[in-house]
Structure 1
Amino acid sequence: MKYGFIIDNRKCIGCHACTTAFKSEHDVPIGVNRTYVKQVEKGEFPNTRRIFSVMRCNHCTDAPCVEICPVEALYTREDGIVDFDNNRCIGCKSCMQACPYDALYIDPDTNTAAKCNYCAHRVEV
């Protein structure tokens, strides 16, 4: 079985509850976000609107971050989750440049890349 998630960005109101929940679940340091809410202004005053879009790892089928990692710290599991071994990471940032979703960052505590792991610890039974 391969996992997936659905986010209807049309219903996003920019509350950042998803970002806060993720930071809490993974003890992400202050000033760092693995998940963030992108805001785009559309139209011209006075007819403007703000569009929100949740940005996070999409666990790509052919993940460019996995392909580019020189030490194979990123890998795709059998269930489709793109996971990460920070013990292998050398902090070269190649994965950050390759990701089309800007979903990786350097963890200031470990100086290695980090990303959403689909809360794999919650789906493993």
Structure 2
Amino acid sequence: MTRWAMVADLRRCVGCQTCTASCKHANATPPDVQWRRVLDVEVGEYPDVQRAFIPMGCQHCDEPPCAEVCPTTATRKRADGIVTIDYDLCIGCAYCTVACPYQARFKSPRGAFAYGSKPTDNEELREDASMRDVATKCTFCVERIDAGTARGLVPGVDPEATPACVNACIAEALAFGDIEDPTSNVSQLLARNQHFRINEELGTGPGFYYLWDKKP
């Protein structure tokens, strides 16, 4: 069975925020709604302190806390691991935004655009009234994945079927693929490198892995 997942190589990420910009462009999210962001943190102890950039967003959990608290079943997990939102069922209660331990959910207000009340051409092209006043988040660009796989393309290999942030990463720090396939790009990366998942101890089973060093 397919399980889509994303991998971020923290040794390669330079904090350029290109993934953030590409996500914003691809989804035309309103101000203060950022599905993909990059944290800038310090790691280590003085005098051996280093700077690390950590791409963040929806982790597409195996056990998503957001789905457990949703009173309308608008949030669901697909068989391939992608957590989706049915905007027709969402009532905008924002319970999911509180339950998410990754701060990855946002409520998109109406009439909010990058430069005031008038949308840019890109925003107007992508404007979807059903996604206003409801919970929104990263979807792993599920429309690209579904359209691509229907054409026989491979997500993570063929750009047209791959999340926009992965395509845009100038350092090739992001990878996407099927972790259930041992020959996939993400499986090979995890096999060769030490890695971790954020808040894994909560039992959420995140579908976002972070590489930090080669395996001994």
Residue 67 of structure 1 corresponds to which residue in structure 2?
Answer: 68
> Is the 1:18–1:35 Cα contact (8 Å) retained in structure 2?
yes
Structure 1 or 2: more helix by fraction: 2
List per-residue Cα deviations over 1:47-99 (Å, max 9, x = no partner). 65422111111110011111111111100112111011122111111111111
* Structure 1 moving runs of 4+ over 4 Å: none
Q: What pairs up with 1:93-104 in 2 under 5 angstroms? A: 93-104=94-105
1:111 is matched with which residue: 133, 137, 143? 133
Alpha-carbon distance change, 47 to 3 in structure 1, aligned in 2, over 3 angstroms? closer
Q: What pairs up with 1:54-93 in 2 under 5 angstroms? A: 54-93=55-94
After alignment, is 17-26 or 27-36 more displaced? 27-36
Residue 8 of structure 2 corresponds to which residue in structure 1?
Answer: 7
Aligned-pair identity in percent equals 39
Give, as a single letter, the amino acid of the residue that structure 2 aligns with 1:115: K
Cα distance in 2, alignment partners of residues 87 and 30 from structure 1: 22
Residue 123 of structure 1 corresponds to which residue in structure 2?
Answer: 145
Cα distance in 2, alignment partners of residues 81 and 72 from structure 1: 15
Give, as a single letter, the amino acid of the residue that structure 2 aligns with 1:41: E
Cα-Cα RMSD? 1.6
> Is the 1:91–1:113 Cα contact (8 Å) retained in structure 2?
yes
TM-score (norm 1): 0.89
**Structure 2 unaligned spans of 5+:** 111-131, 151-216
- SS of match in other structure, 2:5: coil
- SS of match in other structure, 2:54: strand
Which protein has the larger Cα radius of gyration, Structure 1 or Structure 2?
2
Give, as a single letter, the amino acid of the residue that structure 2 aligns with 1:79: D
Cα distance in 2, alignment partners of residues 4 and 50 from structure 1: 25
**Structure 1 unaligned spans of 5+:** none
TM-score (norm 2): 0.53
> Is the 1:55–1:102 Cα contact (8 Å) retained in structure 2?
no
List per-residue Cα deviations over 1:11-62 (Å, max 9, x = no partner). 2111111111111111112332111111113455x86542211111111001
Residue 23 of structure 1 corresponds to which residue in structure 2?
Answer: 24
